[in-house]
Structure formats: C-alpha cells, structure tokens
Amino acid sequence: MSDYLDIRTPDGNFHAYRVLPKAAKAPAVVVVQEIFGINADMKETCRWVADQGFIAVCPDLFWRIEPGVSMSSLNEAEWKKAFALYQAFDRDRGVADIAATMDHARGLAQASGSCAVMGFCLGGLMTFLTAARQRPDAAVSYYGGETDKYLGEMPSVHKPLLMHLAEEDEYIAPPARERIVKAAKSNPMVTVHTYPKCNHAFARHNGVHYDAAAAALANSRSSEFLRRHLA
C-alpha cells in the first residue's frame, strides 16, 4: 500500500510518499531523494525498501522552493530545473526536515520505533549530514556528492553508516572519494564500499549509468545492513 503523509514543521507542512510492508509492525527507513524530487525512481526505491520489510517514507525535500517536484523524463529541461533546485536548496533546513520525517515515521501506528535514513546523490549527502547531526538508528548513503566538503563532521557519526561510492563518479572526483574513504577509516561506525567501473547514479533504476550487477550488490549490502541494525 502506498500513500502520502503530511509532515508538520514550525515552518509549515510538507508531503512524504509512504509504502508499507506486509508486516503489521516494522522499522522505518526515510528514503532521501535525488535532485529530481519524488519521481518514479524514488517510488520504485520505496517499493524495494518495503519489500525488504521496512516502512519506506520519502519526504519532499524541495517543498520550501517548489512543492511536489517529480521529474522522471530527465530531459534537458528537467536537468536544468533540477540543478537550479539543487543550487537553491538549504541543506541545514533539509536536515531539519529529514529529522521531522524520522520523528513522524517513528510514531506511525505500524512502526516498531527504530528508523534509518537512506539517500541517493543529493540524498546521499543529506544522509551523511543527518547521520552526523541527528540520531538515525542507521544510515545508508549512495554516491553523496560534495560529502568531501563536510568531512569535519565524520567524528560526529555515532550510529552505523554505510556508504556506497562509484570509482568513475563524474561528480565525485577520485581525490574527493579518497578523502571520504580516508576520513571514514577514522570512525569505526562507518563502512565504505567502492564500485569499480561505475559512474554516478549506478543504482538509479533505468538511469543512463545504471549498472545492474553493481546496484544488486550495493542493494544487497544495504538490505543486510538495515536488517542488522534496525530492531
């Protein structure tokens, strides 16, 4: 079953897409979008999360700029709009909105109480920042662009964090990736996997750089990780 939730904050309300698993009670996973809003890929990801036995909740991160963004064609016009939204997005407020979504998800009637965050691209960066600044029970970041700019926050990650990085990522250059990997080694709560010959967004369903084998491996690692760390 899928529907939309209304998340309340002091600044206003925003929507989040929800997919429920078959179990009557389950942990929650906040799925954090790429720069294209709650689009077909994010909805498919939420269905996959629910199939793994978790409540999936995907918040509308761009609601303060333009509510209801959903771009799935990814043509030139949508890419241009997506990057404009990315530039205008307030990351600090985004972390607060993810925290509000976690609080809401933990309080759902079907929720067992624990909650993780899992994000992609921009959502991968936001997952790292949320893991450092808030207290999700676990976090999974896929190719979070510009994470290397926030490595001073790596010591603040006190719950398990799993990071997936592509070795041919056009948005995360090898030196940046190496800095992330090096910083992660200083924190025993953080695990990093890198994927050879993979580009950015290798796990995006139907994406130009989708790599079925790498996506399956990363997703299997994510599923096992979430099962291990969410009660």
Annotated catalytic residues are 169, 200
Tokens representing residue 192 in the block: 């990093």
Nearest Cα neighbor of 212 from 230, 198, 227 is 198
Q: What dihedral angle (degrees, nearest 10) is formed by the CA atoms of 210, 211, 215, 217?
A: 180
SS3 string, 103-136, reads HHHHCCCCEEEEEEEEEECHHHHHHHHHHHHCCC
Burial 141-161 (b: 16+ CB within 10 A, else e): bbbbbebbebbeebeebebbb
Which residue bears the tokens 């996973």?
Answer: 29
Distance CA 162, CA 73 (A): 29
Contact by Cβ (8 Å): 101, 134:
no
Nearest Cα neighbor of 129 from 116, 139, 115, 137 is 139
Q: Name the pairing type of β-strands 2-9 and 12-19.
A: antiparallel
Contact by Cβ (8 Å): 218, 126:
no
Q: Alpha carbon 153 to chain centroid distance?
A: 18
